[in-house]
Amino acid sequence: MMNNRIVLFCLVSLVLSAAIVFAHGQGREEISLHGGKMGDITFPHHMHHGVVNDCMVCHKDFPMEPGALQTSKKAGTLKKKQVMNKTCLKCHRDRKKAGKAYGPVKCSGCHIK
Q: What is the mean pLDDT of residues 22-48?
A: 84
Contact 36, 112 (CB under 8 A): no
Q: What is the mean pLDDT of residues 22-29?
A: 66
Which residue type, as a one-letter code, is found at position 45?
H
Element (H or E) spanning 51, and its range? helix 45-52
Q: What is the mean pLDDT of residues 67-87?
A: 91
The CA distance from 55 to 32, in Å, is 18
Element (H or E) spanning 16, and its range? helix 2-24
The CA distance from 32 to 27, in Å, is 12
User: What pLDDT, on a 0 to 100 scale, did the predictor assign at position 22?
Assistant: 47
Confidence of residue 80 (pLDDT cuts 50, 70, 90): confident
Q: What is the mean pLDDT of residues 10-22?
A: 45
Class of 29-112 in CATH: alpha beta
Domain ranges of the chain: 29-112
In the predicted model, is pLDDT for residue 26 greater than 80? Answer: no
